[in-house]
Amino acid sequence: EAGVAQSPRYKIIEKRQSVAFWCNPISGHATLYWYQQILGQGPKLLIQFQNNGVVDDSQLPKDRFSAERLKGVDSTLKIQPAKLEDSAVYLCASSLVGQKAFFGQGTRLTVV
Amino acid sequence: GESVGLHLPTLSVQEGDNSIINCAYSNSASDYFIWYKQESGKGPQFIIDIRSNMDKRQGQRVTVLLNKTVKHLSLQIAATQPGDSAVYFCAEKPPNTGNQFYFGTGTSLTVIP
């Protein structure tokens, strides 16, 4: 079974630039999550989708972060404009409803 | 969000010994718990889970214990191997949160050959 796919694996941008991350969840998984993991910390939930609807985005900095899952499958997370403190690994995960989440390898973002 | 903490940030064990990683969770109503393993440069990998109606669950070389009285979760790894070296996270799911999991800081396990 294919896992959660994310791209790119690494990205380096200058502050105030924009960046986008892409995620393809496990086939059939209705729930999709984006997490931010700062070095030395546990993952922090940014947004959760159920199919193409947002379940919770209370921890998403909406002034600069946006995410969408238009067709209920793939998702993109965008940051515009990026700040230095956005440097982190961005993890996408997916799950069946009410079940454990499976994670992708993440995108390591460095903002300089 | 919820706060899930780990008692020890680092743990070193000799190869072949048993490892015990502890976790304190914050929400007494949390009904589902997962242990994840994260190797360097990779995403968290599911190890084992337990629901709140159980106090023990065993997998292959791993056992999770849940003590709801003191809101404590532990992961036991039998006969620890070098490949077990990683950061281990516990995650809790409070009820009525749409299947959202809250992670602790993690414990770094180093296995000494």
Chain B, window 33-52: residues with a beta carbon less than 8 angstroms from a chain A beta carbon: 34, 36, 41-46, 49
| pLDDT higher than 70, residue B107 | yes
In a domain, B2, yes or no: no
Q: Specify the number of domains making up chain B.
A: 1
pLDDT the model gives residue B81: 96
Range of the domain at B87: 10-112
CA distance readout (Å), B91 to A77, B38, B95: 23, 13, 13
| pLDDT higher than 60, residue B7 | no
Domain A5-99+104-108 fold is: Immunoglobulin-like (2.60.40)
In a domain, B1, yes or no: no
Q: Does an H or E element contain B62, and which?
A: strand B62-67
Q: Please indicate if any CB of chain B lies within 8 Å of the CB of A71.
A: no
Closest Cα in chain B to A43 = B103
In a domain, B102, yes or no: yes
A35-93 pLDDT tens trace: 999 988 899 999 999 998 999 999 999 999 999 998 889 999 999 999 999 999 999 99
In a domain, B4, yes or no: no
- Inter-residue contact B27 to B94 (CB < 8 Å): yes
CA distance readout (Å), A25 to A75, A103, B8, B36: 8, 9, 33, 18
Nearest Cα to B38, choosing from B78, B91, B98? B91
* Residues on chain A touching B46 (C-beta within 8 angstroms): 100-102
- Hey, where are the domains in chain A? 5-99+104-108
Of the candidates B100, B104, B105, which has its C-beta nearest A45's C-beta? B100
Measured distance between the N- and C-terminal CA atoms of chain A, rounded to whole angstroms:
37
Look up the CATH number of the domain holding residue B87.
Answer: 2.60.40.10
Percent of chain B residues past pLDDT 90, beyond the cut:
81
B52-104 pLDDT tens trace: 999 999 999 999 999 999 999 999 999 999 999 999 999 999 887 777 888 98
The arithmetic mean of pLDDT across residues B8-22, rounded, is 92
